[in-house]
Chain A
Amino acid sequence: DQQVKQNSPSLSVQEGRISILNCDYTNSMFDYFLWYKKYPAEGPTFLISISSIKDKNEDGRFTVFLNKSAKHLSLHIVPSQPGDSAVYFCAASALVTGNTGKLIFGQGTTLQVKP
């Protein structure tokens, strides 16, 4: 059962435009969400996170939006740069007993930013 889903395996955008990566989840107990970027042969790099008490968090070019009623979050990258080309993973955790430290990851979306 895929609790965190990234339904778009790939996304291609033009440099300077907005990239929007989407993520859906099914477990209503999830209360903390993160986005990671991953280059081949490297570990995931933390980008931005959001707690369920918020609906938006911004850090530079990166903004994450959370819609709890729809169980949906999205990552906006504005403006997109060629260096942003990578695989993006969303992850979720639920702070309940016995679930500490466990992140559930989506399958990832490969973003290609064309010059």
Chain B
Amino acid sequence: KAGVTQTPRYLIKTRGQQVTLSCSPISGHRSVSWYQQTPGQGLQFLFEYFSETQRNKGNFPGRFSGRQFSNSRSEMNVSTLELGDSALYLCASSLSTGKETQYFGPGTRLLVL
């Protein structure tokens, strides 16, 4: 069974631009969560989607948004990019929501110049 896939793997943007990252969960998984990893803050939860609905949201500004499609694929969008948005963005999928093990993709490395 294929794992979680994320595209693109690497991205370079400039301040003020916006970016969209994509995540395809493991087949059969209906929940997708997004995390941001930075050297200073570690791994931080962004949001979780289940059945096309946002179920939970972390402590990030409204510039960070996401959505989930009927096939469980998910996208996250960051508008008006700031230098501090440079990070590894990780997507994780699980069978359902709640007490389910999350399996991570390889991540998208975003560099904002």
B18 within 8 A of A: no
Interchain CB contact under 8 A, B33 and A102: yes
Query: What number of residue pairs across chains A and B have CB atoms under 8 A from each other?
Result: 71
Q: Bits for B50-67, please: 1 = Cβ < 8 Å to A, else 0.
A: 100001101000000000
The interface residues of chain A, by DSSP majority, are classed as loop
Is the Cβ of B101 less than 8 Å from the Cβ of A100? no
A36 within 8 A of B: yes
Give A32's nearest chain B residue, CB to CB: B99
CB of A29 closer than 8 Å to a CB of B: no
Interface residue stretch chosen among A45-53, A54-62, A64-72, A76-84: A45-53
B43 sits at the interface (CB 8 A)? yes
Is B99 a contact partner of A102 (Cβ separation < 8 A)?
no
Closest chain A residue to B103, Cβ basis: A46
The residues of A that contact B90 with a CB separation of less than 8 Å are: 43-44
Provide 24 A-B residue pairs closer than 8 Å at the C-beta atoms, listed in order of the A residue: A31-B99, A34-B101, A42-B107, A43-B6, A43-B90, A43-B106, A43-B107, A44-B43, A44-B90, A46-B101, A49-B101, A95-B98, A98-B56, A99-B56, A100-B55, A101-B55, A101-B56, A101-B94, A102-B33, A102-B58, A103-B43, A104-B45, A105-B43, A106-B42
Binding site for A on B (CB under 8 A): 4, 6, 31, 33, 35, 42-45, 48, 50, 55-56, 58, 90, 92, 94, 97-107, 109
